[in-house]
Amino acid sequence: MIKLPGLIDPHVHLREPGQTHKEDWDSGTAAALAGGVTMLLAMPNTKPPIFDAGTLDLALTAARSKARCDYAQYLGAGPDNTEWGNQADLPQKAAGLKMYLDSTFGQLRLDDMTLWQQHFMQWPKELPLVAHSESRSMAAVILMAAIYDRPVHIAHISLKEEILLIKAAKERGIKVTCEVCPQHLFLTRDDIPAISQGHPGRGEVRPRLATREDVEALWGNLDVIDCFATDHAPHTLAEKDGENPPPGFPGLETLLPLLLTAVEDGPLAFAQGRRLTMDDIIQKSVTNPRRIFSLPEQPETWVEVDENANYELHADEMKSRCGWTPFEGWKVRGRVRRVMLRGKIAVEDGKILVQPGYGQNVRGK
């Protein structure tokens, strides 16, 4: 048995308000705990999107009565909410500001680069600013971080050109940090047929699965990666297999087993020769996210893992409401046996033992 600190996932979609048939604050935080995640930051591309005091209140009211693990909620950058200086303490009540600069699920995409600049200038420098920006828009975001001399965190990087540019920017003292998701570490576009099972929508995710060369560049530059994040993006199988399938993979319950398996002599193709250490997992899933997002420590909180348990990942054993996983049937090593959260047993042998409402808003004071 090994003991890890509770993991922090800085990138989770919980779908409440508005699309609770996919997930809600109860099912999503249960899935988090089952995966060893004791604190998560929830994304704002809900229905309605979270972009002002009223919509933030909608999300936080649901969270207060339903969340089982600790959390904070992001605000989204829109065309009409750049005046953060006139918003009293609204920014402080959020996990951070999320900017959607490339197309994805939801209505929050910002195309006008002058609006990007406004948010960069007006969002308080000491609070987290996260960008969904791929490829060349990521280069523009890093330039803005340099121009306005403020930190920026790049969500879910997936490409060789991205990790190399972030590395160069860090070497020059630009305040950029980044996260990588398991799907971009363990899957390439060659895996899409196996994931799809004849339903191409299942392989849709943003950023798209990349090439083997991209994946190898991520493994080859692990020290440039600040955080692991799931980008848990649940959609039901009916939606994934229907017309206009929405992009997104669930990930909360597969994160830790995949990472732990990559610590072993890897059955996972890309782990070979580039193994993770336990210290990598703790740094990128606890220490770094806590520092980058200014999150509090969670006292009496830990995850007990049976490091020798070999088993297969199956969606029908998971808590997420979406009912599928791109890692179905994968053989992994390392199972969460127990999770303690602030002195209470939160999970034991697959059972969630803390009630909805036990979770605390870490930006609540």
Task: Name the residues that contact ligand NCD, by CB under 6 A.
Answer: 13, 45, 104-106, 132, 205-206, 231, 233, 246-248
Radius of gyration of the chain from its Cα atoms, rounded to whole angstroms:
19
**Minimum CB distance to ligand NCD, residue 233 (Å):** 3
Nearer to ligand NCD, 246 or 359 (CB): 246
Q: Are 199 and 246 in contact (CB under 8 A)?
A: no
State the residue number with the nearest CB to Zn ion: 231
Nearer to Zn ion, 202 or 335 (CB): 202
Whole-angstrom distance, CA of residue 332 vs CA of residue 313: 7
Whole-angstrom distance, CA of residue 252 vs CA of residue 232: 6
Name 352's bridge partners: 347
For the purposes of burial, counting CB atoms within 10 Å of the CB of 121, is it exposed (0-12), middle (13-18) or buried (19 or more)?
Answer: middle
**Minimum CB distance to Zn ion, residue 232 (Å):** 8
SS3 call for 227: strand
Nearer to ligand NCD, 205 or 260 (CB): 205
Q: Are 5 and 302 in contact (CB under 8 A)?
A: yes
Q: Are 1 and 337 in contact (CB under 8 A)?
A: yes
Nearer to ligand NCD, 118 or 158 (CB): 158
Q: Is 70 in the site for Zn ion (CB under 5 A)?
A: no
Report the site for Zn ion in 227-286 (rule: CB under 5 A): 231
Q: Are 313 and 332 in contact (CB under 8 A)?
A: yes
158 binds, among Zn ion, ligand NCD, none (CB under 5 to 8 A by kind): none
Sheet of 152-154: strand order equals: 75-76, 97-100, 129-132, 152-154, 176-180, 227-228
Nearer to ligand NCD, 283 or 325 (CB): 325
Q: Which helix (H) or strand (E) holds 99?
A: strand 97-100
Whole-angstrom distance, CA of residue 291 vs CA of residue 175: 13
Neighbours of 16 (CB within 10 A): 23
In eight-state DSSP terms, residue 94 is S
**Minimum CB distance to Zn ion, residue 102 (Å):** 11
**Minimum CB distance to ligand NCD, residue 295 (Å):** 20
> Tokens at residue 232, please?
């848990």
Neighbours of 161 (CB within 10 A): 15
Phi-psi region of 9 (alpha: psi -120 to 50; beta: other; left: phi over 0): beta
In eight-state DSSP terms, residue 216 is H
248 binds, among Zn ion, ligand NCD, none (CB under 5 to 8 A by kind): ligand NCD
**Minimum CB distance to ligand NCD, residue 257 (Å):** 20
259 binds, among ligand NCD, Zn ion, none (CB under 5 to 8 A by kind): none
Nearer to ligand NCD, 13 or 66 (CB): 13
Nearer to ligand NCD, 100 or 330 (CB): 100
360 binds, among ligand NCD, Zn ion, none (CB under 5 to 8 A by kind): none
104 binds, among ligand NCD, Zn ion, none (CB under 5 to 8 A by kind): ligand NCD
Nearer to ligand NCD, 187 or 339 (CB): 187
Whole-angstrom distance, CA of residue 264 vs CA of residue 259: 9
**Minimum CB distance to ligand NCD, residue 4 (Å):** 26
Nearer to Zn ion, 37 or 341 (CB): 37
247 binds, among Zn ion, ligand NCD, none (CB under 5 to 8 A by kind): ligand NCD
**Minimum CB distance to ligand NCD, residue 301 (Å):** 27
In this structure, the chain runs to a length of 365
26 binds, among Zn ion, ligand NCD, none (CB under 5 to 8 A by kind): none
**Minimum CB distance to ligand NCD, residue 96 (Å):** 14
Binding site for Zn ion (CB under 5 A): 231
